[in-house]
Structure 1
Amino acid sequence: MSEGTVARKQGIGELIRIKPYVQFMVSKIVSRFGDSIDSIAYSWMVYILTGSKLLMGTLLAVNFLPSIFLGLFVGALVDRMSPKKVIVLTNTGRGLFVGITALLFGLGELQVWHLFVITILNSLLECFASPAEVSSVPRLLPKSMLLSGNAMASSATRVAELAGLAVAGTLIAMAGITWTILIDAGLFALSALLMSRVGYPKASTSSNNENMISDSSDSPPVRKSIFSEMTEAFHFMRKHVLLLIVSILFAFVNFCLMPFNVLRTPYVIETLHAGAGGLSLLSGLIVAGMVLSGLWLSHRGSNYRKSVLVIVGIVMLGLSYAMTALPAYMTSYQLPVAAVFCLMMGLGIPLATTPLASYLMEVTPSEMLGRVYALQSMLVVSVAPLGSLISGALADWVALPILFMVFGVLLAMSAALVLLSKTFRTVL
């Protein structure tokens, strides 16, 4: 298929004709389905096991540490490796660790220190998987289809996530937390098997040789050091100022979202007076909003400037987040009202993030994408541990609705900061 043909055709019909991309997506869908089941079961398990909001915040903070301290180094390593092999091995490893967690909990032997160790190990594997998945997309799709491809990928994986969240509460009620988490372990293994069958196009030798240095015409090429490749990522980010601006913006967005991410389970139990089904409903509607927004982007997103989409997405996300405080001051219909605002939060997320992911892929050479993505991710999540710890600590002193309202308003106001950037308005 020629680049010109692709440029004229941006629909889902054209994307599903690219078999390797479809195989890649199926593997991601299976993994995401299991992950979403686990997210409910794991959160419920931790809250039942500890009953501590501070510990929940601390665990989430620990989850970000490998990405912050090792992300760039891992990204440089991934650029040297086959992304397919990386994803297969990491999914296998994550399935193993999730399975161990389930067995320990089922036997009544799960301790708090186990949670910390397994969280760090799983997060370390995710450090490898994320840049490998990101660098896979431009290898499987032509450049002109990246926005549509990313939007479709977001929608498809969110549908799987929505399905997982929809059945999570029922699974916990019928089969228990142990079996629910074991199901997730099995789905990781299935995802690894499916990924092993994806046929990646052969990389051109010219791009592979860009990371080589020749001492002379008679000597074999010498690969650059890991440190040199990591330094290249810094230089690339400094050269593309917009990537740095966006990274700082989303670091702040990440910080503001920490109270909701850490305290969603206590919010459902204490404020909405609902059970695991209520947590599944709210999480599921966030995902449903992401699906709808992603589908709209895949068809109509190219008609708008990326900067406009990002601003609208951030404002929608922040204001909806702030409004989740409203049910606390109502005497009835608390869960349905919270559900509406969670749906609106979901609508804002792809608008804010998908255009930026596409821009990163458009301007970054494929042989550098792993480490540049890892560097950007490291910057974005750098404040997440602090946000998690602050959220857990503040929850014992400030009512959850007040926390959500304050941080939601701050998030929405962050959109004004990027509007002051001429680079953001003109380039994106």
Structure 2
Amino acid sequence: MTTAINTKQNIWKSSAFVTLFSSALLVAFASKVYDLALPLLVYELTQSAKWMGWMRAVEFLPNLLLALFIGVWVDRVDKKRWSQQMLTGQALMVILSFSAVQWMSQPLWVLFPAAFLMMAFNYGYHNARMAMLKRALPQNMQNTATARMSSLYSFMETVGPVLSGALLLMAAIHYALLVVAAMLVLAYWQLDRLDEQPPLNQSSQSFFASLSDAWSVFVGSRTMVVITLAVMVINTTGSVFWIQAIYFAKAELTLNSVQVSYLVAASGIGGMLGSFTADIVRQKMGLGRLLILSIALEAIGFLFPIVWPTLWGLGLGFLWVSAVGLYSSICIWSFRQEAFDEKWLGRIAGITGSLFKLLMPLGLAASGYWVEGLGITSLFLLCFVVQASVAFMLLATRVRNVA
């Protein structure tokens, strides 16, 4: 597959993209506040790190368990109305969570299922947004659109410490959930400005027949299959590095919470740098070569805490890993956007979304035992070796020829 990038076109002149971007900005803000508030709220209620961990596990499950099914539904429905329904569902879950904390003696009974559904609705919204971008913009602007959308979440990582401070100043943390609900309502209203987009697929196929057809299309794209296998590995090494680097910061470097927040901000700054330069670099290198190079360069970032075990060294590592890591993410998402027709995109996103995270639970669980037995330095080295090997193996595949 080859795709030319025409940099003369200004993506901000597309009213559809501006509408989708502004709505996504509100959702990104709401998601960041929610991500920060929920673990703080759970800890405030339980004083238990164990319950905080379980809450994160529950939030992870919808993408792994429901992505396939959501992908089939998205391909059959009106993407705009579906997205608004997903935003409504999120807002209702947030309000339900607020009500439980405000008036129930045991709010965890509500918070856990609400968090599960919140993440399911969130995934449903993001899946449909990709399909709407596919229809709203020409092929040669998909990479730029993906990069600009990615910048939203990097920006929110950058302002994360500010938001954390604001939450801690609130009289009660659960009132932050009302802010989240308000942002989601505004996102619904903004999305209402998008021109109506009726569904392309009015298929009478059964659910599993539809999914089977999409699987055949996915397997038929050998390049996408190879990329997916690589992403299964690098998502695991990246997530292991992230969580164990935080442990390294707290346990080995004895950093306080404020200093750890600086690391998160450094990660966000790196992501923003990557998101605003990815389309330019791709134009010069090609998608395949940029993907392989960014995977290799990200692996080098895993060595930073070993070479320079200080706050500054770890902060630079977070910035480096996020900047070059976002290059690879944008390449992966852009290839998926460009390689498949809109009628398949929801299901392909569901299939790949589940596979992308398939190894992460095993890797994250095993990493703790590895650190206890062999030390965290050897784990960072292992992450480097595994990810660098993935980049080396991709050089021998057709991925390197993708333009």
Deviations 1:117-145 (A, max 9, x none): 23322232233222201111111101121
Structure 1 residue ranges (4+ consecutive) displaced by more than 6 angstroms after TM superposition: none
- 1:363 has 2:339 as partner: yes
Q: Which amino acid aligns with 2:81?
A: K
Which residue pairs with 1:219 in the alignment? Answer: none
CA distance, structure 2, for counterparts of residue 110 and residue 146 of structure 1 = 46
CA separation of 1:173/1:339 partners in 2, compared to 1, >3 Å: closer, same or farther?
same
Q: How far 1:376 sits from its partner (Å)? A: 0.8
- 1:159 has 2:134 as partner: no
Q: How far 1:313 sits from its partner (Å)? A: 1.4
CA distance, structure 2, for counterparts of residue 7 and residue 406 of structure 1 = 37
Q: Which amino acid aligns with 1:142?
A: P
- 1:344 has 2:320 as partner: yes
Q: How far 1:235 sits from its partner (Å)? A: 0.5
Which residue pairs with 2:254 in the alignment? Answer: 273
The correspondence of residues 281-300 of structure 1 with structure 2, limited to 5 A, is 281-300=262-281
Q: How far 1:191 sits from its partner (Å)? A: 1.7
Q: Which amino acid aligns with 1:254?
A: N
Q: Is the contact made by 2:151 and 2:275 (CA closer than 8 Å) also made in structure 1? A: yes
Q: Is the contact made by 1:78 and 1:370 (CA closer than 8 Å) also made in structure 2? A: yes
Which residue pairs with 1:137 in the alignment? Answer: 133
Q: Is the contact made by 1:101 and 1:110 (CA closer than 8 Å) also made in structure 2? A: no
Q: TM-score, normalised by structure 1?
A: 0.82
What secondary structure, in the 3-state scheme, does the structure 1 residue paired with 2:13 have? coil
Q: How far 1:173 sits from its partner (Å)? A: 2.9
Q: Is the contact made by 1:256 and 1:411 (CA closer than 8 Å) also made in structure 2? A: yes
CA distance, structure 2, for counterparts of residue 278 and residue 102 of structure 1 = 30
Pick which of 102-111 and 19-28 moved more: 102-111
Q: How far 1:256 sits from its partner (Å)? A: 1.7
Q: Which amino acid aligns with 1:426?
A: N
Deviations 1:94-115 (A, max 9, x none): 2332344455456684666555
Q: How far 1:228 sits from its partner (Å)? A: 1.8
Which residue pairs with 1:410 in the alignment? Answer: 386
CA separation of 1:157/1:259 partners in 2, compared to 1, >3 Å: closer, same or farther?
closer
Pick which of 119-128 and 141-150 moved more: 119-128
Share of identical aligned residues, percent? Answer: 20
- 1:14 has 2:10 as partner: yes
Which residue pairs with 1:39 in the alignment? Answer: 35
Which residue pairs with 1:424 in the alignment? Answer: 399
Q: How far 1:184 sits from its partner (Å)? A: 2.6
Which residue pairs with 1:232 in the alignment? Answer: 213
Pick which of 33-42 and 246-255 moved more: 33-42
- 1:174 has 2:149 as partner: no
Q: Is the contact made by 2:270 and 2:320 (CA closer than 8 Å) also made in structure 1? A: yes
CA separation of 1:34/1:98 partners in 2, compared to 1, >3 Å: closer, same or farther?
same
Q: TM-score, normalised by structure 2?
A: 0.87
What secondary structure, in the 3-state scheme, does the structure 1 residue paired with 2:194 have? coil
Q: Which amino acid aligns with 1:357?
A: W
CA separation of 1:174/1:157 partners in 2, compared to 1, >3 Å: closer, same or farther?
same
CA distance, structure 2, for counterparts of residue 108 and residue 344 of structure 1 = 44
CA separation of 1:318/1:8 partners in 2, compared to 1, >3 Å: closer, same or farther?
closer
- 1:125 has 2:100 as partner: no
Which ranges in structure 2 are unaligned for 5 or more consecutive residues? none
Q: Is the contact made by 1:41 and 1:180 (CA closer than 8 Å) also made in structure 2? A: yes
CA separation of 1:272/1:419 partners in 2, compared to 1, >3 Å: closer, same or farther?
same
Q: Which amino acid aligns with 1:425?
A: R
CA distance, structure 1, for counterparts of residue 63 and residue 141 of structure 2 = 29
CA distance, structure 2, for counterparts of residue 99 and residue 267 of structure 1 = 36
Pick which of 314-323 and 263-272 moved more: 263-272
Which residue pairs with 2:79 in the alignment? Answer: 83
